[in-house]
Amino acid sequence: MTLETLKPYLPWITLFVLAGIVGIANPAFFNPSGLIALVADITPLFIMALGMTFAIYIGGIDLSVQQMANLVTVIATVYLAQFGIGVALICIIIGFLIGAISGYITTRLYVPSFVSTLAMGFVALSGAKYLSGERALSMDATLRDRSFGWMFGNTAGVPHELVIAGVLLFIAWFLQKRTTFGRALKAVGSGELAAVASGLNVDRIKILAFAISGTFAAIAGLMFSVKLSGGDANLANGFLLLAIVAVLVGGTPLTGGVGGVVNTVIGTLIVVVIRAGMVYLEIDATQQQMVFGIVLIVAIALTIDRSKLRGVVK
Amino acid sequence: MSFIKKFIQQEKVNRRDLLLASAFGLGGVAASGLLGPGMARAAIADPTVAWSYRNRTNPYWNEIVSGGEAFVESLGKSKDFLTHLINEGSSEKSLADVKALLSKTNGDLALAIDTNDAPNARPVVEACVEAGAYVSTLWNKTDDLHPWDFGDNYVSHMSWSDEGPAEQTARILLDAMGGSGGVVHLGGIASNNPAIERLNGLKNALKDYPNVELLDAQPADWDTQKANQVMSSFLTRYGDEITGVHCANDTIAYGVLEALRAEGIEGMPVVSYDGNPQAVDLVSRGEILATVFTNPHWGGGITASLAYHAATGHFKPSDEPNEHREFYGPTIFVTPEDAAEFKASYLDSVPTYDWTDFWGPSNGQIQYQ
Amino acid sequence: MADTMANAAPAARFLTRDRIIKWAPLLVLGVLILLFPFFEWLEDIRAGEAHAYLIDSRFFSIRNAARIGIAAAPALMVAIGVTFIIIMGSIDLSMEGTVSVCAVVFAFAFLAWGGTVLSWAWLAIPAAMLVGAAMGFINGLVHVKLKIPSFMASLAMGFVGTGLALLLTGGDRTRVEDPIFRSLLTERWFNFPVMVYVALAFLLIAWFIQSRTTLGRNFYAVGGGEELAHASGLNVERVRLMGFTLAGVFFAVGALLAVGRIGIAETATGNNFMFVSITAVVVGGTALWGGIGGVWNTLVGVLIVSVINNGMVVIGLPAYVQDAVLGILVILAVVLSTDRRSVSFVK
Amino acid sequence: MYELRKVDKKFPGVHALKAVDFKVNRGEIVGLVGENGAGKSTLMKVIYGAYQPDGGTVTIDGTAVRFQNPRQAMEHGIGMVFQEQSLITNLTVMENIFLGYEARFVKFGVIDWKAMAEAARKQLAKVKLDINPATVTSELSFAQRQLIELAKVLTLEERIDGDLVILLDEPTSVLAKEEVDLLFKLVRELTNRASFIFVSHRMDEVLDLSDRVYVMKDGEVVDVVDHDAAEVDAIQHKMVGRNVDKEYYREQKQQPYGNEVLVSFDAVSAGQRYKDISFDLHRGEVLCLVGTEGSGREAILRTVFGLQTPTSGRVTIKGQPVSSFNARSSVDLGVGYVPRERKVEGIVAGMNVYENMTLSQMHNYSTAGVLKTGAEKSLARSWIERLAIKTPNENKDCGGLSGGNQQKVVLAKWRSGGSDIILLDHPTRGLDIGAKEDVYEMIRAMCDDGAGIILVADTLEEAIGLSHTILVVKDGQFQKRFDGRPGDKPSLYDLVHHMI
């Protein structure tokens, strides 16, 4: 077996090696129920990364996801009493719209997505601050359980978060692999000019990719809000960089067209393992961030398939 | 009487109560032993002790942690026995780390935590309760979450009522301004509870000073550099109208002082909060008129201690009255007159605390509005 | 505005579309500078007070210019550092970590070696710049030698930097109170504090590097066509390494000014520099895809962002809308300075 | 003096060079011809140091050398003149000329722009180009850029003491006839100083210029012919491995076109790009737009495809007036576009053959947005067979196919989708003879199937050979219309006369 044939499996190998290191150092890591809980907990982050994958897959990036989730935690908390489960729809629509606006600014006004989504994130943050009155709000527990109780809990040992994550993953995978939209995304990510010359409506596809990213970010925010039973304008802070890292470590490069949602699953798991590893290996508090950075460099160095990074590495 | 003296006297009174309390605690252990099979896990022989907090870049949290470390050392263990979980301002990481630790320790855990954001407290507590671990919270929790609703595992919550002390510092400020002029407030992260309470304190005080106008209040996110920029913008907008500055904490005050220094403005009355060592120095030099010491060292140690002693069965939380489950932490005013004295007794040599004197320096049961 | 090369630029048509786009960022800055006083004027007129537009403006005053200068100086240094990287078509997200490390190392060394500029402690200044260079060099090595795209490499290196600063300080902050060092802030020449002049001096150095040195021109070559530059015999790897190293030095200067501004070095010194500096670079008209722009663009970009931040507080905009206004103005600025005919698509 | 012996180069799955012997004598001009994929570009990359050979020896004046990168090759006097787009367009002319070798103008770390401009002028004089060296390259024409490329390589003259070997890769593809003549004159003059290796698809040019011609096929040198003995037919035969029909435009196969109008332009203008354009395209017709670069040909094509919105006039496609101009609706009306930049506009590298083929017609291979991959694959298989596309299977990445096969995929994309208005922009550009022939064959076949074709041809000969109708465009306006039946075609002169 040569390195060449191993390449597609490098992200998996990295994941298992990392997990193995943590598990050997502390076998308690392999406790099944603990592992399941660990994975279930990452669900909101995973969903956000899943959405981000679409933006990165077309060669862009979405820096608004964290603020979007912040906004949604506030919306969900404020309007839960009024709309019940219908608030989910409002959140999703908001996410879709803000994402679409970012996409519009990127494609039609020629503002790089790095800037347009960052700026739209600021707009969402303002919305969150305004709506929350700049306070931390909490949901009424009974109302929450009535409308969204199904999001959490266990059925036959399987946490419902995992089921939701699985369903969304399937939807994302299906969109990417089996639909004309997914094929169009790939064309835009790998060769935008050729996509134009094939008569694809490239602008619409790109706008839609950002809208999907926004939608998933909104779902992530909603789940997080329900989980924490509240919302405020900073609740989802810390998601953004991890979501980007999850996508990139999984092997979807910023140049687009390669990788995809399954890679993001691996990437998210790698992030979980690294993070949990800090706890299991009892890394000193002042060293954790540095260790995270170094392990990240190693993980990225191992997982990215340089032959697919077409052209020069920038 | 200076604030210091008042505080020390209060502590003496409390120490008398301590004897009673510890006796009660021992009784609690005996009682829980008797409960036997009814309780799944009444006591954990040697729980892991962990502190989960925001970050190490803020002196406040360093103080908290030093208390936690002092506590584990009092158990005859090394500093490293304390497990640190750092959430970097992310509620998501805070919760994920706690769950990972619960899984690692199989629930044999005594956890002291600030959950970073109030809504995050409930899932953290629920996770601990489910795993059979013992948790004590500090600062952030929602008003509808109470330790007594969770039996023994949610041991306690400590917070500080900042409104009153902030009002007092505001009065010191407003008096220094001669009861007239304009004041600006630089706040913390807008949605943080302490930030809200500290601004409310200022507003309350202002009611008695009709000649002072609150010119503006903007969030500076507990950040020195942001405070620096906001203050210089204030100076542009209001110029000489500003005759006093009310800061939500010490780190903000540092930025404010530097903005004033840049303009060559001297003698502007400034008050702050938290009582960090550097701020106390500034108070003793008169650059800050007052700050409020919340004794984070004690808070950090006692929160860990409460969780630990509940976990080991040293006392049974559910037998304690509500004012021992939710209580305010101590507050000590530091003003130029007593700064030196305060520094000598709290900062230059950290007092050795009796970590089983759980409620000695505390400040009464938490009141909700 | 970018290239003022000795004998370049044939004097041809004056008001071409290209030229308008090239000067758009400056135009935006000009409009902003006139806009905020307008809101002040409006506020006073409504309140029935006399207010002569601009003349009575508190925003449009030397004193406020100095304040904006203080706010902008450290960010300008960091943004200049990243400008070189962006000209190469790469990106550097490690600035927050590097700035923190440099600030902390500087403060430690400064205090350990005497605590005043008049002693050997002045060596802490070049030492911090060396540390910045080393951080940048390692960043470049990770990017170039491990062939990791700069976005990811520098993002991870940013974590390492912040982590290293934390490890060094254990979370404590260090005060640098030497009055001579602090004269960066306290001493004023012609109404502006010394740090503004220091920043301008480094801006000129950066401009010199950009327009007059082989390295500076090679950044443009790499950004304009990396493979072509390589085929022409250019050692692209070396140019990249040097670029990241140079960026590290400018991050270090940014760190020194940041410490000079508030007199404190801590792990959080680097906070918020990432988005501010990259936004400023882009708003100034330097394209993220490389090859276009320069340090003067970055100056304008940093000023735009600083003026917006200062102006919003000065006109009394509620805190909760400030983020949105900043976001929208940034988009507007970029839209105006983008030549839509020269780019076929944007991602 | 420069010699390769038994040089081998292997890539995963490809044996690109098989024991190649290659030799350049002092002052000689050596031609190098071969089909795409024959190994020409690999050989050139080995020569100028971009690739390192896996086996064999490289010697200069008998001394063995091994280059790790192009710079080392340059230091041994070997320079490469790339195709037109290899200058860095955001740099000035002089910066491009001295890129990587600025050191001699640097004093105390400072670049002396005056000295560099002076030196650059000297280089430009060598190629008889009189422009300001401080001009930004993007402002120059392609022909000027090509000469600057040569000027840049000629800096080796000053830098290197020994002999020079200069590779010319397709240097004439963007040049007009007189510019080609100028270039050739220059090259001949320079042989007192340098040897040249000349690579071109234009066989006549290779024979015209070269002293000897190396013919490559499948990674091997199959023949070396002297200038005097060289014959186009024989060389082409060796390249392709079969005889090339002289009449390769297959004029005899040209059928008269039908009456049905597919595309109709009625006094259409688009700003400054073109004005008052009227024409009809019928079923079975090849309509060729002839004109110089920038004359408006491409803009007209782009209007038909919906990428360029006209400012006035009426465009009708299949009887329907076009109101909104976008690619999607044009494609729906049956328009297919084969762009000039095949690798970036024609195919999507990174996507496989069947994905590329259905890209424009995914609605035909999906239900409610869900793709039917099986149908896609069988479509691809049938077209791979029909057009004899050389690919192991339909799952192969299109980026890995040769130019001709990529072009076939693009054509299959449109034809399989039933497009019957095909816009061809330089469809044979950069293709070798065999692949060109295939394209001509397909154009004829499409006409027979009733498609209408608008062609912007690579060469005038091609335009004449293939088309029913030729419209000469100059400065955005029609100059002249030729109706060319087989045997009654306009001459080259007729066209050029109206073009310029």
The CATH number for D138's domain is 3.40.50.300
Within a domain: D16: yes
Report the number of distinct structural domains present in chain D: 2
The answer to whether the beta carbons of residues D1 and D61 sit under 8 Å apart is yes
pLDDT tens column, C35-44: 999 999 998 8
Domain assignment of residue D121, given as a range: 2-240
What is the domain class of A10-306 according to CATH? mainly alpha
All domains of chain C in start order, with CATH = 74-336 (1.10.3470)
pLDDT tens column, C304-319: 999 999 999 889 898 8
Within a domain: D323: yes
Task: Of A135, A165, A93, give the one whose Cα is nearest residue A230.
Answer: A135
* Same-domain status, D170 and D203: yes
Task: Of C94, B104, B117, give the one whose Cα is nearest residue A278.
Answer: B104
Q: Provide the whole-model pTM.
A: 0.87
Both structure tokens of B178: 């001669």
| Residue D272: pLDDT band with limits 50, 70, 90 | confident
pLDDT of residue C15: 62
DSSP states of B153-216 as a string? TEEEEEE---HHHHHHHHHHHHHHTTT-EEEEEEESSTTSHHHHHHHHHHHHHHTT-TTEEEEE
* Same-domain status, D80 and D178: yes
The answer to whether the beta carbons of residues C81 and C219 sit under 8 Å apart is no
Q: How far apart are CA D321 and CA A147, in angstroms?
A: 54
**B66 CB contacts (<8 Å, ≥6 apart)?**
B297, B300, B350
Whether B33 shows a pLDDT value over 50: the answer reads: no
**C269 CB contacts (<8 Å, ≥6 apart)?**
B225, C99, C100, C103, C104, C165, C255, C258, C259
Specify the residue for token string 């170039």. Answer: C144
pLDDT tens column, D478-497: 888 888 776 677 776 677 67
User: How far is CA B44 from its chain centroid?
Assistant: 27
Q: Which is it for the CA torsion C265, C268, C270, C271, positive or negative?
A: negative
Higher pLDDT, B31 or B69: B69
* Same-domain status, D203 and D350: no
pLDDT of residue B24: 42
| B236 vs C64, C262, C272: nearest CB | C64
Is D307 in CB contact (< 8 Å) with chain A? yes
Instruction: Single out the residue in D193, D210, D240 at which a domain terminates.
Output: D240
* Same-domain status, D201 and D62: yes
Chain B hits for C272, Cβ within 8 Å: 223, 225-226
pLDDT of residue A141: 82
Is D70 in CB contact (< 8 Å) with chain C? yes
Provide the angle, in degrees to the nearest 10, between the axes of the packed helices B91-105 and B121-131.
Answer: 10
**C313–B230 C-beta distance less than 8 A:** yes
Going from N- to C-terminal start, the domains of chain A cover 10-306
Locate the chain B residue with the closest alpha carbon to C65: B236
| Residue D16: pLDDT band with limits 50, 70, 90 | confident
The answer to whether the beta carbons of residues B252 and B244 sit under 8 Å apart is no
| C221 vs D74, D99, D110: nearest CB | D99
Which chains share 3+ C-beta pairs under 8 angstroms with A?
B, C, D
Within a domain: D478: yes
Q: How far apart are CA C101 and CA C163, in angstroms?
A: 9
Both structure tokens of B185: 């407030």
Q: pLDDT exceeding 70 applies to what percent of chain B?
A: 88
Locate the chain A residue with the closest alpha carbon to B120: A228
Q: What mean pLDDT is predicted for residues A301-312?
A: 67
Locate the chain D residue with the closest alpha carbon to C231: D70
Element (H, E) at D380: helix D373-386
pLDDT of residue C84: 96
The answer to whether the beta carbons of residues D404 and D431 sit under 8 Å apart is yes
Give the 3-state DSSP-derived string for B220-257, with helices as H, strands as E and coil as C. Answer: CCCCHHHHHHHHHHHHHHHHHHEEEEEECCHHHHHHHH
Q: Which amino acid is at D143?
A: A
Instruction: Single out the residue in D208, D240, D272 at which a domain terminates.
Output: D240
State the ipTM, two decimals.
Answer: 0.85
Greatest alpha-carbon span in chain D: 75
Within a domain: D293: yes
* Same-domain status, D120 and D194: yes
Both structure tokens of D155: 């800096």
pLDDT tens column, A161-219: 999 999 999 999 999 999 999 999 999 988 888 898 898 999 999 999 999 999 999 99
| A254 vs C151, C327, C335: nearest CB | C151
| Residue C54: pLDDT band with limits 50, 70, 90 | confident
SS percent in chain C: helix, strand, coil, step 5: 70, 0, 25
Q: Which amino acid is at B75?
A: L
Chain C hits for D99, Cβ within 8 Å: 218, 221, 229, 232-234
Specify the residue for token string 């096969």. Answer: D405
Within a domain: D245: no
| A293 vs C89, C157, C289: nearest CB | C157
User: How far is CA D449 from its chain centroid?
Assistant: 28
* Bridge pairing between strands A154-155 and A158-159: antiparallel
* Same-domain status, D153 and D36: yes
All domains of chain B in start order, with CATH = 3-160+295-330 (3.40.50.2300), 163-293 (3.40.50.2300)
Which residues of D179-285 form beta strands (DSSP E)?
A: 194-199, 212-217, 220-226, 261-270, 274-282
Q: How many CB pairs under 8 A join A and B?
A: 127
Q: What mean pLDDT is predicted for residues A11-21?
A: 91
Helix then strand count (H, E) for chain A reads 15, 4
Apex C219 CA angle, C215 and C220, nearest 5: 125
**C7–D88 C-beta distance less than 8 A:** no
| D328 vs A190, A197, A201: nearest CB | A201
Give, as one character, the DSSP assignment of residue B67.
H
Q: What mean pLDDT is predicted for residues A287-291?
A: 88
Q: How far apart are CA D53 and CA A278, in angstroms?
A: 48
Within a domain: D246: no
Within a domain: D61: yes
Start-end of H helices in B266-321: 277-284, 296-311
What end-to-end distance do the CA atoms of chain D give, in Å?
44
Instruction: Single out the residue in D212, D240, D268 at which a domain terminates.
Output: D240
Is D57 in CB contact (< 8 Å) with chain C? no
Element (H, E) at B60: helix B59-74
Specify the residue for token string 């970073």. Answer: B116
